């Protein structure tokens, strides 16, 4: 069964512990810019929006990659094969949810790979704002509601581009 991270925006405080846990897990460094989850903050509007790969059923990032660097593993988790990534940013542009970035050090794509099924960010979140859910009907509904709430919170429509 496909799984993904669900984030409860009502519980997220923007503490960024998830970013640190992720960067340590993947890069052995405390560097939020190298994290696969990014916390967007607008303190003037008291806004905190975590951005992470949604493990889409129809992943635009995968289709946009000219080298086939974005693929599913045996557990159905989308990941980036860094040996194939050329850093072209097609996947970054293709993802309408902001769930994929370029690593500032390697200049290759990075995205949440659910830490192989045991996400470090879930364990690091003291407020219970991040959970790993299965993509059953309830899980898909939670993902859609989370996306819609995130966009409503920042005053945008789902899929609208920030300029």
- Evaluate whether residue 103 is within a structural domain: yes
- Evaluate whether residue 50 is within a structural domain: yes
Q: How many domains does the chain have?
A: 1
- Evaluate whether residue 162 is within a structural domain: no
- Evaluate whether residue 159 is within a structural domain: no
CATH of the domain at 122: 3.30.70.20
- Read off the pLDDT of residues 135-145 as tens digits, 9 standing for 90 and up: 765 545 555 56
- Evaluate whether residue 163 is within a structural domain: no
| pLDDT at residue 77 in the model | 93
| pLDDT at residue 146 in the model | 59
- Evaluate whether residue 160 is within a structural domain: no
Tokens of 1: 């069964």
- Read off the pLDDT of residues 74-88 as tens digits, 9 standing for 90 and up: 989 999 999 999 999
Q: Which structural domain range is residue 83 located in? A: 3-153
Rounded CA-CA distance 147/1 in Å is 21
- Evaluate whether residue 158 is within a structural domain: no
| pLDDT at residue 49 in the model | 87
Q: What percent of the chain has pLDDT over 90?
A: 68
| pLDDT at residue 150 in the model | 58
The pTM for the full model equals 0.80
Q: Which range among 6-15, 43-52, 64-73, 149-158 has the greatest average pLDDT?
A: 64-73
99 in Cβ contact with 78 (< 8 Å): no
On the question of pLDDT at 160 being above 70, the answer is no
On the question of pLDDT at 3 being above 50, the answer is yes
Residue 8 class from Cβ within 10 Å (0-12 exposed, 13-18 middle, 19+ buried)? Answer: middle
| Gyration radius (Cα) of the chain, Å | 15
């Amino acid at each position: 069964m496909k799984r993904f991270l669900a984030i409860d925006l009502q519980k997220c405080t923007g503490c960024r512990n998830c970013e640190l846990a992720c960067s340590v897990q993947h890069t052995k460094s405390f560097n939020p810019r190298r994290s696969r989850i990014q916390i967007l903050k607008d303190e003037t509007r008291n806004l905190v929006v975590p951005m992470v790969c949604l493990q889409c059923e129809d992943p635009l990032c995968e289709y946009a990659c000219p080298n086939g660097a974005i693929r599913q593993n045996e557990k159905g988790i989308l990941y980036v094969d860094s040996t194939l990534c050329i850093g072209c940013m097609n996947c970054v542009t293709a993802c309408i949810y902001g769930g994929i970035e370029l690593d500032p050090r390697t200049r290759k794509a990075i995205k949440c790979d659910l830490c192989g099924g045991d996400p470090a960010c879930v364990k690091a979140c003291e407020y219970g704002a991040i959970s790993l859910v299965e993509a059953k009907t309830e899980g898909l509904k939670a993902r859609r509601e989370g996306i819609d709430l995130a966009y409503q919170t920042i005053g945008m429509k789902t899929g609208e581009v920030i300029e």
